[in-house]
């Protein structure tokens, strides 16, 4: 019974510095937008405008900036200095970023704090067939150091997990490979 307290919310777990914890996701969103802007800037000029427009449209940031490469380059500063934004917006921007990386043929790179937050949010808001895949499992990012849930373990990289949950990829997290004995 003494172990029960660690499973309860607001329990007497060892304290840690939580001063950086916030529901405001502006900085994370701005960082993802900046990464998208770098991908668009590296694309051939005839393709850059279409990639930027698709990113801005999918991220639903069209009212913030003109949907072209020049507008995208200014967007991260506008987001960072603008109004507060939550996890729903971060999730949309990350989905747009993942689609952009697929279109540009580059590897998506996102920080663990972003992949973890988006995965946890998407695990509760994704379409039912995708939620059903992770329901009743412990989902673990093999590269980002986060996990959530209870049950048998499913693994994948942080980007693979969120790509599946955000309907960008059809590859779900899988049980870990058995270790050779």
Write the pLDDT tens digit of every residue in 29-61. Answer: 999 999 999 999 999 988 988 999 899 999 998
pLDDT at 177: 80
83 is a domain residue: yes
Token pair recorded at residue 28 = 């994370």
Domain of residue 122 covers 112-165
Q: How far is CA 172 from CA 21, 106, 130, 131, 135, in A?
A: 29, 20, 8, 11, 12
| Residue 73 confidence (pLDDT) above 70 | yes
Identify the domain boundary among 70, 104, 138: 104
- Per cent of the chain over pLDDT 70 is 84
Whether residues 32 and 97 share a domain: the answer is yes
Verdict on whether the full-model pTM lies above 0.95: no
- Does position 85 have pLDDT exceeding 80, yes or no? yes
Question: In this predicted structure, what is the pLDDT of residue 2?
Answer: 56
pLDDT higher than 80, residue 106: yes
Kindly state the helix (H) or strand (E) to which residue 64 belongs, with its residue range.
none
The span from the CA of 26 to the CA of 89, in Å, is: 9
| Cα 50 from Cα 82, distance rounded (Å) | 25
Instruction: Look at residues 155, 148, 149 and name the one whose alpha carbon lies nearest to residue 176.
Output: 155
């Amino acid at each position: 019974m003494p172990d029960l307290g660690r499973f309860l919310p607001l329990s007497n777990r060892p304290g840690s510095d939580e001063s950086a914890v916030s529901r405001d996701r502006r900085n994370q969103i701005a960082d993802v937008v900046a990464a998208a802007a770098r991908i668009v800037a590296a694309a051939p000029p005839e393709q850059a405008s279409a990639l930027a427009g698709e990113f801005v449209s999918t991220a639903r940031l069209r009212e913030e900036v003109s949907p072209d490469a020049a507008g995208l380059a200014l967007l991260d500063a506008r987001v960072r200095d603008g109004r507060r934004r939550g996890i729903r917006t971060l999730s949309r921007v990350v989905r747009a970023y993942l689609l952009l990386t697929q279109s540009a043929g580059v590897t998506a790179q996102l920080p663990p704090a972003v992949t973890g937050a988006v995965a946890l949010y998407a695990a509760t808001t994704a379409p039912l067939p995708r939620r059903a895949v992770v329901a009743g499992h412990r989902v673990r990012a093999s590269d980002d150091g986060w996990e959530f849930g209870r049950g048998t373990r499913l693994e994948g990289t942080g980007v693979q997990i969120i790509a599946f949950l955000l309907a960008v990829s059809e590859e779900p997290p899988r049980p870990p490979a058995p270790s050779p004995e």
